Structure 1
Amino acid sequence: MEKEKEIMLRLSYIEDQLAPLEESAKALKELREDVTPRVNEAVRALIEELADIKADFQIEDLVFLLKKTMRNVRNLIFVLDQMKNLIDFATTVEPLLKSTVPQIIGKLDELEQKGVFRILYSMMVVVNKIADSYSPEDIEQIGEGVVGLLGAVKKLTSPQSIEFLDKLSEVPSKVDLFKAKSVGIFSMPWTMADKDVKKGIGITMELLKDLAAVT
């Protein structure tokens, strides 16, 4: 009786141990039943998609691609490293750009408000008109002439020249042409007696003398 009882206990123990396995097998069976239709659908879809590229794809192409990839592994690693460096650079520069770009936009807006871009556009229009009206040789000749004029203008920037030109510019505003009278040979001596006329003639003579000296 004791042996039979022991056997029954062992059988009960084995049944308890097999129960989880039975449950697992049942769950796997249910999973297989659920997954099998989905796998079949995926396989059929893959076959249909591969059929579309059958004419454009050969197994030799895949082998060639694999060989090419294996031969250029170092190059691929280098490219990946460079991409990482580029990403690191972009990550580093991003905060700077966030603060700099608005400043640049603000500065450009300020220049626009001042009309700088309109001035530049007008200058480009003038340059285009000059290019249409003159040949490169003419522009070169004009440039040489401008250089010479700049030399003359530089000489006019001396204090004496500026003072002389300043006084000379006041003459038109002081001359009243309606009061001008004709001067003949007989009235010339009376006109020469005026001290301002004498001074003007003296200045004219000095200018003529200096003009003769530089020619």
Structure 2
Amino acid sequence: MADQSIVALNQKIDALTAQVAYLADQAAIVERQRQDRAELVRDLTPIADQAFHLAIEQLEEVQEYIDLSDLLRLAKRLMRNGRNLEKILDQLESIADFSQTAAPIADEAFSKAINTLADLEQKGYFTFARGGRRIMDNIVTSFTEEDVDRLGDNVVLILNTVRDMTQPEIMNFVRSTLLVAEQEIEKPVDITYSGLLRQMRNPEVRRGLALTMRVMQVIGSQTQPTSS
């Protein structure tokens, strides 16, 4: 019986010792927190004093432009529009998130655009465009307003003429004629009567002369003589 009482007493002493140790630990924690707060206050006090004096100096500079009623009215508006301000902040956060997401895509697109422009420059597109601009400047400075009006009146006729001149048959004929002329122009030409007569024996020469005369006939028929 006495042994059981001693055991129970020892258990109570152990429990009391544990509680005392716990309270001591808690007291140490509270003391450390108090010291941390005191140290923080000591560190912030000079900063707060400096900020306070700076705020006073800045307010003194603008005090003639600020009215207390204006500040109160602004504060009321801010409080009334708290939800709107919160929505604006949410939108700004969404824009910031979108910017972070789109930044790599924009960088890649910008790099591709730079490479495309460099490729166009290397191929000569910009040089051609600058040359075309000079051509347009020359055209604009070379034609008067009356010339432009006449051009507008005859633009359909001009386009039809260009269309007819750019037919494959005409273009092939002109090209082949130029190629033959380039080859024949370097050769010696016999312009004596006998040489010309020999050439007249050539059927192709006679056909060419006949076609030339036919063209001259058409030109003559379309040219009306001026009445005196």
Among 184, 187, 198, the residue aligned to 1:174: 184
Provide the rounded CA distance (Å) in 1 between the counterparts of 2:114 and 2:44: 61
Q: 1:135 to 1:34 in 2, by over 3 A?
A: same
| Equivalent residue number for residue 69 of structure 1 | 78
CA deviations 1:156-181 (Å, max 9, x no partner) are 34444344334433346536685324
1:86 aligns with 2:95: yes
Instruction: Map residues 154-169 of structure 1 onto 2, 5 A cutoff.
Output: 154-169=163-178
Q: Which moved more, 1:157-166 or 1:117-126?
A: 157-166
| Equivalent residue number for residue 56 of structure 2 | 47
Provide the rounded CA distance (Å) in 2 between the counterparts of 1:143 and 1:171: 37
| Equivalent residue number for residue 113 of structure 1 | 122
Q: 1:94 to 1:151 in 2, by over 3 A?
A: same
Among 191, 197, 200, the residue aligned to 2:208: 200
Provide the rounded CA distance (Å) in 2 between the counterparts of 1:113 and 1:129: 26
CA deviations 1:55-81 (Å, max 9, x no partner) are 222212212322443455565345334
Q: How many residues align?
A: 190
Q: Determine what percentage of the aligned residue pairs are the same residue.
A: 24
Letter in 1 for 2:210: G
TM-score (norm 2): 0.58
Q: 1:69 to 1:164 in 2, by over 3 A?
A: same
Q: 1:139 to 1:67 in 2, by over 3 A?
A: farther
Root-mean-square deviation (Å): 4.4
Partner SS, residue 179 of structure 1: coil
Partner SS, residue 173 of structure 2: helix
TM-score (norm 1): 0.60
Q: 1:153 to 1:97 in 2, by over 3 A?
A: same
Q: Which moved more, 1:200-209 or 1:116-125?
A: 200-209
Q: 1:182 to 1:114 in 2, by over 3 A?
A: same
Among 130, 147, 158, the residue aligned to 1:149: 158
| Equivalent residue number for residue 124 of structure 1 | 133
Q: 1:124 to 1:68 in 2, by over 3 A?
A: farther
